[in-house]
Amino acid sequence: MKILLVRHGESQGNVDQAIHTIIPDHEIALSSRGKEQAASTGKIIKSFYEKTYGDLLKEKPINTGPKDAAQLFEAALKMMAGKGKPKIRLWQSPYRRTRETAEIIEKSLNGILLDKKEQVLLCEQQFGLFDGIEDDLQKEKFPEEFNCFQHTKQHNGKFWARYPMGESAFDTACRLHQAFGTFHRDSENHGINDIIVVCHGTVLRLFTMMWLHKSPEWFEKEKSPGNCAIRLLDNNEDCGYIYGGHRDGKAWEYSGNQYA
């Protein structure tokens, strides 16, 4: 199974962090530039599947529902021969910026995508007491909690440091791992060939880490990808970013990871 991990497009919060003080994180929308990025990413994904599957995209999907013996035998032969239209499912985080990104991508994949589903476990890391507070004000408003968090991060590393009343990257990884059973069942029980996962920068890196059994040290060295970046995991192999996306309106390029 191929997995395309996609970070959401540029959000209003990426443009102006102060918006977090008036709008809940899960309600922050895409910027106008973020919508353009999502449209471009949708075209890139469409081109990827056209090159990967070619004329198979024009075939009718293999019916994996109830069937008689003859139909079952015919479907089995098609699947063994690699024929039949691939079944591609899109999963999205329930945040507004990921929903908007997924909706725009879905339009580009008309006729290619089987369906779109939502998984709450794909949501962004929870920042707890610091949520909605700009970085330079966290220490001023919550000095004890800020100092404790910074001490933990410096002493144990950012993977283990838990935001006050929020999540650490470790917590997010454990929560995210609970969704993996669903993705495995997509392949094993429902005949899904590929999935597209529209999520967040931290979740994208943690997904890669957990799916490929990489280390916390790997995560700590891994850079957050650009908006609308696309990372390909193919049969448990990390193929890197097939598209780097953008940061601050400029193209983002992956510089690699010494723990890869």
| pLDDT (tens digit per residue) in 12-52 | 999 998 898 899 999 999 999 999 999 999 999 999 999 99
pTM value?
A: 0.88
pLDDT digits (tens, 9 = 90+) for 60-113: 655 555 556 666 566 555 554 455 789 999 999 999 999 999 999 999 999 899
Q: What is the model's pLDDT at position 17? A: 85
Task: Evaluate the CA torsion angle 42, 239, 159, 183 in order and state its sign.
Answer: positive
- Report how many domains make up the chain: 1
Q: Is residue 78 part of a domain?
A: yes
Q: What is the model's pLDDT at position 66? A: 57
Return the CATH number at 89.
3.40.50.1240
Q: Is residue 235 part of a domain?
A: yes
Q: What is the model's pLDDT at position 80? A: 46
Q: Is residue 256 part of a domain?
A: no
Confidence of residue 205 (pLDDT cuts 50, 70, 90): very high
Return the bridge partners of 243, or none: 230
What domain range includes position 67?
A: 2-126+167-251
